[in-house]
């Protein structure tokens, strides 16, 4: 059977992990995390990372690989992915990349620009500006000097706005200009691509039900442990869906019902943004509707078809 890498992208709660595990079992595959939050340890429940039984069914890589006190940029993830890919191939397994972070998939298939590391003092200045002027103030600074990058930013996307300001300040060049000079992709050969595109109502119901399930599995305990560490609130792990809302509940600012409803709303909004990104950026990826009863069978068919097409050129 072909060892061509398989890429499975989709919004949160769309069933990506189930499809990846199904394919891994059938093909002799290993699953490589391609999600920016599942990379952190201590948030396994709240990020819906594979559980012990799922990990026992197939090798998994890059889940819980970093402590929440660390920052994982796209570039850092890509370097980790190169090492994981080499390990998977050395074992003779089919690499299956699965997740919902579009920029991680872009680094796999298109490569990254060689943006120099941002000095710690510049990052500290960016965080100070965020505290005093907010996202819109920081975005205004970017727009004044780098309108091309600013046009592609949403004022509510704190992480990307901060990143754009930091790169501009550290290098004197805009983020868009750096991104136009992409380096070599992680995957140099062909890859089988699958984008999960469920009906919106089905997905939103799944988001809500899954958050209730997370609460029953110990999400509050995870957030309590995270808060007890006194970590910088600007760290990526501290911005995982549900962390702030459950922290507010633990602090007595929200009831559990209020925190839950807010977290569900933010999760649905995030899923919508993911679907929009996929619709605009993954236009040539074959689609799979995970709400179908035969979704796993359809996944098998997509992979088989892609392998047959690839074999024509061998």
- Domain range spanning residue 247? 6-112+183-311
Same domain, 104 and 137: no
Average pLDDT rounded to a whole number, residues 12-34:
97
Same domain, 82 and 134: no
pLDDT above 60 for 312: no
What is the number of domains present in the chain?
Answer: 2
More confident residue, 118 or 212: 212
- Distance separating the N- and C-terminal Cα atoms of the chain: 14
Residue 40 lies in a domain: yes
pLDDT for position 314 = 39
Same domain, 208 and 297: yes
| pTM of the complete model | 0.81
Which single residue is written with the structure tokens 């309590």?
224
Buried b (16+ CB within 10 A) or exposed e, 249-271: bbeeebeeeebbebbbebbbebb
Average pLDDT rounded to a whole number, residues 103-132:
86
Residue 1 lies in a domain: no
Model confidence at 313, in pLDDT bands (50, 70, 90)?
Answer: very low
Same domain, 158 and 220: no
User: Radius of gyration (Cα) for the chain, nearest Å?
Assistant: 20
Same domain, 250 and 171: no
């Amino acid at each position: 059977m072909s060892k061509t890498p398989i890429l499975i992208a989709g919004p949160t709660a769309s069933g990506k992990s189930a499809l990846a595990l199904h394919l891994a079992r059938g093909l002799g595959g290993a699953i490589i995390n391609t999600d920016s939050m599942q990379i952190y340890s201590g948030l396994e429940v709240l990020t819906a990372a594979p559980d012990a039984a799922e990990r026992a069914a197939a090798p998994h890589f890059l889940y819980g690989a970093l402590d929440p006190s660390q920052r994982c940029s796209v570039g850092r993830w890509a370097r980790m992915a190169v090492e994981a890919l080499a390990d998977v191939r050395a074992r003779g397994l089919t690499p299956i990349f699965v997740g919902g972070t579009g920029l991680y998939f872009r680094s796999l298939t298109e490569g990254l620009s060689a943006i120099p590391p941002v000095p710690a003092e510049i990052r500290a200045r960016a965080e100070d500006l965020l505290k005093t002027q907010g996202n819109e103030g920081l975005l205004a600074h970017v727009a004044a000097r780098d309108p091309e990058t600013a046009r592609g930013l949403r004022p509510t996307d704190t992480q990307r706005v901060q990143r754009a300001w930091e790169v501009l300040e550290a290098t004197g060049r805009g983020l868009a200009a750096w991104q136009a000079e992409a380096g070599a992709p992680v995957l140099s050969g062909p890859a089988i691509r699958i984008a999960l595109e469920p009906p919106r109502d089905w997905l939103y119901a799944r988001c809500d039900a899954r958050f209730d399930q997370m609460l029953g599995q110990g999400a509050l305990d995870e957030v309590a442990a995270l808060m007890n560490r006194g970590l910088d609130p600007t760290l990526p792990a501290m911005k995982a869906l549900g962390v702030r809302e459950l922290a507010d509940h633990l602090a007595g600012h929200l009831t559990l019902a209020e925190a839950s409803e807010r977290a569900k709303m933010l999760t649905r909004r995030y899923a919508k943004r993911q679907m929009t990104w996929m619709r605009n950026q993954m236009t040539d990826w074959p689609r799979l509707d995970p709400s179908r009863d035969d979704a796993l069978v359809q996944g098998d068919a997509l992979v088989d078809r892609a392998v047959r097409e690839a074999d024509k050129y061998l």
